Structure 1
């Protein structure tokens, strides 16, 4: 399964975010605070456990489709 599909599915299932909101997340919604990966949803920083943090980090480093 493609990385973006796995990542979107994890965010959908864990946080109940609509697919349109997940697709609109900017790359800077993922950041590092005190050495921990944090996803910012609606201005709320949420610390991510390693499995999801790894997926999100890999996705932000992936080249966009058609690049």
Structure 2
């Protein structure tokens, strides 16, 4: 069941891409902050978020 939609989905994808750029531009161990983008991109692209499910939230209008 999809529970991520609309603005939430777009925001996660854009923020994920922005954070992924940190992986390429930051030196040394700071690159690890770029890996924060992976969960954002995965939940944005699959439209499924475990945290939303636990909280009972659904931002997707069509199931």
Is TM (by shorter chain) over 0.5?
no
Q: Give the structure with the larger helix fraction.
A: 2
Q: Give the structure with the larger strand fraction.
A: 1
Q: TM-score, normalised by structure 2?
A: 0.29
Structure with more contact order per residue of length (Cα contacts < 8 Å, sep ≥ 6):
2
Q: TM-score, normalised by structure 1?
A: 0.28
Larger radius of gyration: 2
